[in-house]
């Protein structure tokens, strides 16, 4: 399937978001196919090593609760 860029640009905002979601879901279904530069790999490895030395953060449930409180939910 080949859709000219000009046609994509003529889509409504809602249709563009649907296309983006479709593409994102497709990429997520096969993450190993997404190219990543050696520079990015090195940065991710550095950050992971840093976090492993000093794992700080909050459990998801705590984060979720803070978000919901801010929203007033």
pLDDT at 26: 93
* C-alpha to C-alpha distance for 33 and 27, rounded to whole angstroms: 8
pTM: 0.51
Confidence tier at 3 by pLDDT (50, 70, 90): confident
Number of domains in the chain: 1
Summarised one tens digit per residue, pLDDT across range 10-68 is: 999 999 999 999 999 999 999 889 999 999 999 999 999 999 999 888 999 999 999 99
Grouping H, G, I as helix, E, B as strand and the rest as coil, residue 10 is coil
pLDDT at 56: 86
* C-alpha to C-alpha distance for 30 and 55, rounded to whole angstroms: 28
CA atoms within 13 A on the CB side of 37: 3
Determine the length of the chain: 73
> Domain residues for 56?
5-71
Q: 72: which DSSP letter?
A: T
């Amino acid at each position: 399937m080949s859709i000219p860029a000009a046609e994509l640009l003529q889509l409504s905002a809602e249709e563009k978001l649907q296309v983006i979601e479709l593409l994102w879901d497709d990429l997520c279904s096969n993450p190993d196919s997404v190219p990543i530069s050696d520079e990015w790999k090195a940065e991710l490895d550095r950050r992971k090593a840093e976090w492993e030395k000093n794992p700080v953060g909050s459990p998801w449930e705590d984060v979720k609760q803070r978000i919901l409180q801010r929203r007033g939910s």
